[in-house]
Amino acid sequence: MYRYLPIRRVHARQVLDSRGNPTVEVEVTVGEGIVGINGTTGRAMVPSGASTGRFEAMELRDGNKKEYVGLGVEKAVSNVNTKLADAILGENALDQNAIDFLLLEADGTENKSNIGANAMLGVSMAVARAAAAALKLPLFQYIGGIHAKRMPVPMMNILNGGVHADNTVDLQEFMIMPVGAESFREGLRMCVEVYQFLKIILKQEKLSTAVGDEGGFAPDLPDPQAVLSLIIRAVERAGYRPKEDICIAIDAAASELYDKEKDVYRFPGESQMKGETILRTGKELVGYYKELVDAFPIISIEDGLHEDDWDGWKHMTQELGERIQLVGDDLFVTNIKRLSCGIKLQVGNAILVKVNQIGTLSEALDAVEMAHKAGYKAVISHRSGETEDPFIADLAVATGAGQIKTGAPCRSDRNAKYNQLLRIEDQLGKMACYDHPFINVEVPK
């Protein structure tokens, strides 16, 4: 078996993501002999977000308005083919930490603004995939080792709002989690059935069944209560019990609603539908979440307050942290420095992990490790601008995170991850473990 697996070739190109925007695809060839004859090639595609925290690593865009409305990534592609290739050619692909360190060193900035996090991540993921292929190992096992067997509970987005949809729903994502399932396959089926019944109900109510960026339906609705009531109806129409079989998760994406000048959260869609201006302070918003949690089987809220409000997050954690999962996305941005601060302040109790927020696979793994050691949960997540690359499906199993966000079951870029997880579960067979991650969290009655 290989101990040293040299990187022989690094090549990037510009391709398209699920929104039709350019993104970076990288191919890395490893192994002895002549490239293209004896080598093994791994390929990776980089996702992109719309609702992005300002502390995220920087993706490099060309800014040339004459091509792709300024969103081209040819500069990032060029950086892969020159600077990053020069940094890692000949290095050992089996040493992911060392490779990622070289990528960070080549960039030399805190936020990856020199070479671009999108350039770096494409190389980092492609190296891992090439090494796994050369060793003839599944990617999840190469990254996670021999104990990687825990399948994630889907956190399936079935109704979109916020910046992910052109509708009046202010909160960004409403998701369902099949906590009563006994396997990933069963949980996925349950979620898909609820999704399909939600479509039937929306049609009956003469509401739009158009979908947002992540495939969830995007009707105009007056407030979160209306959304949640529809979801409960769909769960029951599908033959499942709210709370026992299916619970609800919300991504509020509160940073997108925050008015810094007035220190309030604006709800433009709700204001439009109700004919009055709806504003909430941070404490009022936390109180509002408590009302929703009391009324509906909500077990997870992501980004309930904006990314700079550490005091507000502490208050929210004190009020809700014993009852539900509080996930930091814009707050933590897959960054161990910010996560460490949150752990010390006892803020939140879970981290959302997006590999493109931080720029390398090793840094994402460090974030999951830190979270688990501190008793925080981890959720492996896609982005609103996705690709057909199912890398995060393998990552979810490799890390044993137990939860994955990867959208609605209606687009190939989202279903690619679900289908890969079905393959992994099939490969693991009886060794596959599936249990919902809220054993120590009180599910509201």
SS3 content of the chain, % helix, strand, coil (to 5): 40, 20, 40
Q: Which of 186, 207, 188 is nearest to 198 (CA)?
A: 207
How far apart CA 108 and CA 309 sit, in angstroms, is: 29
Distance separating alpha carbons of residues 225 and 231, to the nearest angstrom? 10
Phi, psi of 94 (to 5 degrees): -80, -10
Are the C-beta atoms of residues 362 and 97 closer than 8 Å to each other?
yes
C-alpha 120: how far from chain center:
18
| Closest residue by Cα to residue 287 from 267, 256, 269, 312 | 312
Choosing from 74, 214, 256, 425, the catalytic residue is: 214
Specify whether 369 is catalytic.
no
Cα 287 from chain centre: 27
Task: Give the number of residues written for the chain.
Answer: 445
Is the distance from CB of 18 to CB of 383 less than 8 angstroms? no
Residue 232 CA to residue 236 CA, distance in Å, equals 6
Distance between CA atoms of residues 48 and 292, nearest Å: 31
Distance of CA 421 to the CA centre of its chain: 15
d(CA 239, CA 224): 23
Between CA 387 and CA 401 the distance in angstroms is 22
Among the listed residues 112, 354, 377, 417, the single catalytic one is: 354
DSSP code of residue 331: T
Alpha helices in 135-223 (DSSP H): 139-144, 184-204
Q: Give yes or no for a contact between 437 and 153, defined as CB atoms under 8 angstroms apart.
A: yes
Farthest-apart Cα atoms in the chain, separation: 70
* Four-residue CA torsion sign, 388, 392, 398, 403: negative
214 is catalytic: yes
Place of tokens 């720029």: 359
Tell me which residue of 421, 424, 359 sits closest to 155, measured CA to CA. 421
Residues annotated as part of the active site: 214, 354
